[in-house]
């Protein structure tokens, strides 16, 4: 008796050399929290499984991975539009975040997780505050998360210890669904000694670092002017690149940074909707990939990105890279899907367990309905996944072998309760007192 049989789906297969093809009319067999087999429909006897999901031709693909977000920020969604980056931080986001209470994070995280489960996102590398609240929400939602408690240099060294305590408490929790990471905000808000102390603690705890750096070219220019180093060089000198690192966002990475990055294990989280909205230029995705530097998809927070939709990030990445290179053959469909799956798993730190529906991997997968009018006629399933799909086409979401959404119905979270809770604090959260900002942006 095995646990779960997903019958008769078309399985998206992305090879390790970034080719994409479809296995038509296949079953996926799941035992406990792992994929046991992917095989032609008809071989498995449904009566040998505790649960059977009839996919009826839906497309199965790995659960999507969001490599950089501030999920609970959904509670502020829509409050900082059409403003510059400086205004966004200093006049909106950081004053708004002075309103934040632990309970806001708990409900905001649930809201964002509900949105992501609906959009087929099963893993998120989250970078925020009150992270024990996010961990409780992840535990309840049934998703996977890599949680980092955001800290700033002027929080003092005691905050590194507070983070370490969080890491020790939650690392490996929820059947391994929860992993943790140190999350110093950025080189511009953590001085070198603070970064070094964070790295030392991370290494001692066997975790990595999740940090913002070279977010846009202005930060790089400023760093070069102030100290003659690019932000990436600062990360190298302070040892940040010596532990597994996620860097958001890298739109300011220079050609001379590439060889440094190529020598280390750091990967980039790519959130193109935020870059467009804040006119940040874009990250050199082709350059990263030529140097073997991992790139994963991300949404950033919903106050810049508005949604937590990785399909949208994939589409925008492919399109903006074409536009930036001036060449429409740039970042073709199989490569976009490869970045959305295997590469994102690599940045997330679980390349051997996530990002592919291979036997032995963790059972994180989604079923996508390509029967809608916006996909028809389906000359190319892979083209449809990159350029036509909507988050609302995701019908079923499975994480760690457990069904989180079945045919559009969430099974672990109570959306009515979540929305009611979040709405009840809307007015309080929307207050802005510029003199009460939590930090100042002046990179």
Q: Which SS3 state, helix, strand or coil, does residue 363 take?
A: coil
Residue in 145, 193, 153 with CA at minimum distance from that of residue 170:
145
Show contacts with a second copy in window 156-215 (CB under 8 A): none
Q: From the list 61, 240, 308, 403, which residue makes contact with a second copy (rule: CB under 8 A)?
A: 308
Minimum separation from the CB atom of position 5 to a second copy (A): 28
List the end-to-end C-alpha distance of the chain, in Å, as a whole number.
58
CB of 397 to a second copy, least distance (A): 13
Residues 9-28 contacting a second copy, CB under 8 A: none
Q: List the one residue from 275, 288, 348, 441 that touches a second copy (CB under 8 A).
A: 275
Among 157, 307, 351, 432, the residue binding a second copy under the rule CB under 8 A is 307
Q: Does 53 bind a second copy (CB under 8 A)?
A: no
The DSSP-derived string for 187-236 is: TTTS-HHHHHHHHHHHHHTT--EEEEES-SHHHHHHHHHHHS--HHHHHH
User: Percent helix, strand, coil in the chain (nearest 5)?
Assistant: 40, 25, 35
Q: Is 374 in the site for a second copy (CB under 8 A)?
A: yes
> In angstroms, what CA-CA distances link 204 with 95, 161, 296, 322?
34, 12, 26, 42
Task: Return d(Cα 198, Cα 150) in angstroms, integer.
Answer: 11
Please enumerate in sequence order all residues whose Cβ is within 8 A of that of 52, keeping only pairs 6 or more positions apart, or say none. 4, 5, 6, 7, 46
Among 33, 122, 223, 320, binds a second copy (CB under 8 A): 320
Which one of 51, 154, 392, 431 is in contact with a second copy (CB under 8 A)? Answer: 392
Of 102, 411, 430, 440, the one binding a second copy by CB under 8 A? 430
Q: Site for a second copy (CB under 8 A): which residue of 209, 278, 337, 403? A: 278
Of 261-269, 286-294, 360-368, 384-392, the window that binds a second copy (rule: CB under 8 A) is: 384-392
- 49 touches a second copy by CB under 8 A: no
Those residues whose C-beta lies under 8 Å from the C-beta of residue 438, and which sit 6 or more positions away, are 94, 95, 97, 98
Q: Does 378 bind a second copy (CB under 8 A)?
A: yes
- C-alpha span between 216 and 222 (Å, rounded): 10
Q: Are 163 and 133 contacting, i.e. CB atoms less than 8 angstroms apart?
A: no
Residues that bind a second copy (CB under 8 A): 74-79, 81-85, 88, 111, 114-115, 118-119, 273, 275-279, 281-282, 306-309, 319-320, 322-323, 325-330, 332-333, 371-380, 383-384, 387-388, 390-392, 415, 419, 422-423, 426, 430
């Amino acid at each position: 008796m095995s646990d779960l049989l997903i019958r008769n789906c078309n399985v998206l297969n992305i090879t390790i050399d970034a080719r994409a093809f479809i296995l038509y009319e296949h079953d996926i067999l799941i035992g406990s929290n792992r994929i046991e087999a992917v095989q032609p429909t008809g071989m498995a006897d449904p009566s040998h499984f505790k649960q059977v999901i009839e996919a009826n031709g839906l497309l199965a693909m790995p659960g999507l991975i969001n490599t950089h977000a501030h999920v609970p920020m959904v509670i502020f969604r829509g409050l900082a539009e059409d403003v510059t980056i400086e205004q966004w931080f200093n006049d909106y986001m950081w004053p708004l975040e002075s309103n934040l209470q632990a309970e806001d994070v708990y409900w905001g995280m649930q809201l964002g997780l509900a949105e992501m489960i609906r959009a087929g996102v099963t893993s998120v590398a989250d970078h925020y505050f009150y992270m024990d609240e996010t961990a409780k929400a992840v535990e309840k939602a049934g998703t996977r998360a890599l949680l980092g408690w955001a800290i700033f240099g002027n929080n003092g060294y005691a905050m590194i210890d507070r983070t370490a305590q969080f890491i020790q408490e939650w690392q490996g929790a929820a059947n391994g669904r929860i992993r943790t990471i140190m999350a110093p905000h950025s080189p511009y808000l953590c001085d070198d000694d603070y970064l070094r102390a964070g790295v030392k603690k991370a290494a001692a705890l066997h975790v990595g670092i999740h940090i913002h750096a070279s977010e846009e070219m202005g930060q790089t220019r400023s760093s070069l002017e102030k100290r003659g180093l690019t932000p990436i060089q600062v990360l190298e000198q302070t040892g940040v690149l010596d532990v597994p690192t996620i860097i958001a966002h890298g739109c300011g990475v220079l050609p001379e940074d590439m060889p440094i990055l190529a020598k280390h294990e750091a990967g980039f989280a790519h959130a193109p909707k935020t870059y467009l909205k804040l006119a940040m230029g874009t990250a050199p995705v082709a350059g990263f990939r030529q140097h073997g530097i991992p790139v994963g998809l991300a949404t950033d927070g919903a106050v810049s990105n508005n949604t937590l939709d990785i399909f949208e990030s994939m589409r925008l990445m492919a399109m903006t890279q074409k536009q930036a290179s001036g060449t429409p053959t740039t970042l073709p469909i199989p490569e976009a899907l490869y970045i959305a799956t295997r590469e994102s798993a690599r940045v997330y730190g679980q390349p051997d367990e996530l990002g592919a529906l291979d036997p032995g991997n963790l059972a994180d997968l989604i079923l996508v309905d390509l029967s809608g009018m916006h996909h028809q006629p389906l000359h190319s399933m892979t083209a449809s996944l990159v350029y036509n799909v909507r988050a609302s086409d995701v019908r079923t979401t499975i994480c760690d072998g457990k069904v989180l959404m079945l045919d559009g119905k969430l099974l672990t979270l109570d959306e009515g309760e979540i929305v009611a809770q979040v709405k009840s604090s809307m007015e309080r959260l929307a207050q802005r007192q510029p003199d009460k900002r939590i930090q100042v942006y002046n990179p």
